[in-house]
Structures are given as structure tokens and as C-alpha cells.
Amino acid sequence: MQKFLSKYSSEHQGIAKSVFENKRLSFDQALFLYENADPIFCGLLADYKRTQLYQNKIFFNKNIHIEITNICVNKCRFCSFFREKGQDGSWDLEAEDVLEIVKEKVSTRITELHFTGGLHSKKTTDFYSNLFKKIKKTYPHLHIKAFTSVEIEHFSKVDGINLFELLKLLKESGLNSLAGGGAEILNDDIRKKICPEKTNSETWLQIHKYAHQLGLKTNCTMLYGHIETNKDRVKHLELLRNLQDETNGFNSFIPLKYKIQGNKLALKQEASLIDELKNYSISRLFLDNIPHLKAYWPMCGKETALLAMSFGADDFDGTISNTTKIYSMAGAEQKPELGCDEIKELAENAGFIAVERDSEYRELIFF
């Protein structure tokens, strides 16, 4: 290790020393990594950190996504998921449809339902509260992970309920955790360009703070590879790290690469594989207080997600069972589905042990 690091500059070696001594990286050190470090250097340090935490384990769960509707009052420029009501490719599930899906999938021993979707003008607090109560009555063991801060703010405005009380009501109805999307880049100048109708940065963070105060764990995300700068990325990570210092409520961080297909942002290319891997590594090194780093394979692909496990990531997400379209409509995995045996084989071939977890990252052991 020392021989390998000796070829790098004093700045590189100072960062490596901080990592090995378990010292927190500064904003400037993270920015230096983005702008001056190669992916091998970043990956070596990030893999060291992951190994210190989890040895050769990587995690997955048995989950499905339920995307109730892609009809949305927002029209974000980067979104390939949105459709107008009645437009080809639009859908709008009712509670009975959702209950049928859950009934069908529960036989596969899923442990988590992940709800997300568009901002529907009528499907707000009462709809989801009643739906969650029905699900929990029949399947009390299922973990309901749902909503981004954008959806929570939308419900609050439409229904006239303050954010804290809304989250409390949803928790009492069966909500177990928040999904963490909608963060995009926590810079309001950028948000005005790519998603002007969406929740601003301060509100996104406040909603997660309220959730954590109520005992709801959440995830957090970053949409990268569009018009943001490296400084924007580090500032985004710093805001998440600061909130985690205060609340300790984030379970995992999920970098999400902007996909170019089927949206109005109309950029010519996506982030490169090198940029993806560096982003995973720097996230692992900088977010020293968020325990898990997820490579969401339906977005980045199975091969890249597995490669990310050697660059700091430790979570593969789940089996999915071909139940999400958000990224497939943007050009990612077209039929996202993996069996437990497939995940375990992929992991073993790469030198890892795949461990099934629940939604709060407790390891599940079956006899």
C-alpha cells in the first residue's frame, strides 16, 4: 500500500493518511479528489473504508417498487417518467390494483414495498393513509418505504397539513421510512434550471429532519452528471453529512446518474464510467457518518453496480421483480429483475458474500 501511494503528491498522501487514521475529510479535500485524483486512488481508499465496515459482505433485500402513477403536476426537464393524463404510456393505479400486486408478490417472501410516483392532483394524504392501513392489516410484516420530500410537500400544500403533522399521520398509517429521492442537487440555482417546480433545498432537508425526529429512517440521493459542477457535488454531500451529524437518521446514500433518453434536458452525453466510480468512492470517503452506500443496479446496470462494490459501495438494492419503470423509461435496465441466487452468484464471482437484509439493514438469517 505504502509503495503504491508513494507515487502520488503530498496532497494525495495527506488524504490517504486522513482515511487510514479515520479522520474526517474536509470540503477542499473532497473537491481535490474530484478534480485531481484518479479512480484507482479513490477506489483503493474507498474499498479500504468499506472493508473496515463490512469485510467482504454486500447487502440486498427482497423488494418491489409500486409506482402508482406517472401523471404529475410537475414537468421536470430531466424526467423521462412524466406523462399527461390520457397520454400514451401514462398509468394511474387505484388502491385495489395495488392490493392485487402486493397479494401476487408477497408469495415470493418480499420484505419491502417501495412506493413512488408522480404528483397526482387527487392521490394525496387520505389515499395513501387508507392504502397503507389496508396493507398493514393484511401484511403487518411488510416494510413500507415511500415518498420523496417532493411528494410530502405536495401533500402538505394540497391538503393543508403542516409537514411535521403530515409525516406523523402517515407514520401512524403504516409508513416506515422515506425513499430519499427528489434531492437532485441541493443548489437552488441549479434546481431552478432542471426542476423549478420541485421542493427547494431547505425544504428537502427540513422534511428529512422532521422524519428523523419522528423516528422514521430515510435514504438520501444525489442526481449527478447533468449541469452541476464538482463544487456543487461536494456542497450537496456536505449538507447531507451535516444533517446526519444532527439527526443520525439516514440509512444510506444513493448516487443516481442522470440518463439522457426521453427527457427535455437534452444533454448530449451521460457521466462516464470513470466518473461514476469516482463518485461512489468520494461519497464513501466523505459521508463518514452515513453507514451504507447503494449502487442502484436498475439505474446503473448489474455490471457497474457490482464494480461499484470495489469502489466503496456496499448495497446492491434488491430483487425488484421488474416493478420499476422510472429508469427503464430513461434508457436503463429494461426489465429490472434479479433472483436471490443470481445476486449471490454475482457477488461470489466478484469475491463478495451477498447478505440478505431487511429495510433497516439488519441481516436476515434463514435456517
58-74 pLDDT tens trace:
999 999 988 887 765 55
As a whole number of angstroms, the distance between CA 87 and CA 84 comes to: 5
Q: How confident is the model at residue 331 (pLDDT cuts 50, 70, 90)?
A: very low
Domains of the chain: 2-356 (3.20.20.70)
Q: Which of 120, 114, 47 is nearest to 350 (CA)?
A: 47
Find the helix or strand (DSSP H, E) in which 269 lies.
none
- Does residue 263 have a pLDDT over 60? no
Residue type at position 364: L
- Does residue 76 have a pLDDT over 90? no
Q: Which residue has the higher pLDDT, 99 or 326?
A: 99
pLDDT digits (tens, 9 = 90+) for 113-134: 998 876 766 778 999 999 999 9
Q: Which residue has the higher pLDDT, 77 or 221?
A: 221
Helices (H) and strands (E) in the chain, counts: 15, 10
- pLDDT value of position 188: 96
pLDDT digits (tens, 9 = 90+) for 15-42: 999 999 999 999 999 999 999 999 999 9
- pLDDT value of position 267: 73
- Does residue 276 have a pLDDT over 90? yes
Taking residues 267-283, what's their average pLDDT?
Answer: 92
- pLDDT value of position 330: 41
Q: Which residue has the higher pLDDT, 298 or 18?
A: 18
Q: What is the value of pTM for the model shown?
A: 0.89
DSSP H helices, the chain, are: 2-5, 10-20, 27-36, 39-54, 95-105, 125-138, 149-159, 163-173, 188-194, 201-213, 230-247, 273-286, 297-300, 302-308, 340-349
As a whole-number percent, the residues of the chain with pLDDT over 70 amount to: 86
- pLDDT value of position 95: 87
Q: How confident is the model at residue 360 (pLDDT cuts 50, 70, 90)?
A: very high
As a whole number of angstroms, the distance between CA 206 and CA 204 comes to: 6
Residue 265 CB coordination number (10 Å): 17
- pLDDT value of position 322: 56
Q: How confident is the model at residue 329 (pLDDT cuts 50, 70, 90)?
A: very low
- pLDDT value of position 333: 46
Q: How confident is the model at residue 290 (pLDDT cuts 50, 70, 90)?
A: very high
- pLDDT value of position 128: 94
- Does residue 328 have a pLDDT over 50? no
Q: Which residue has the higher pLDDT, 237 or 197?
A: 237
Taking residues 197-215, what's their average pLDDT?
Answer: 96
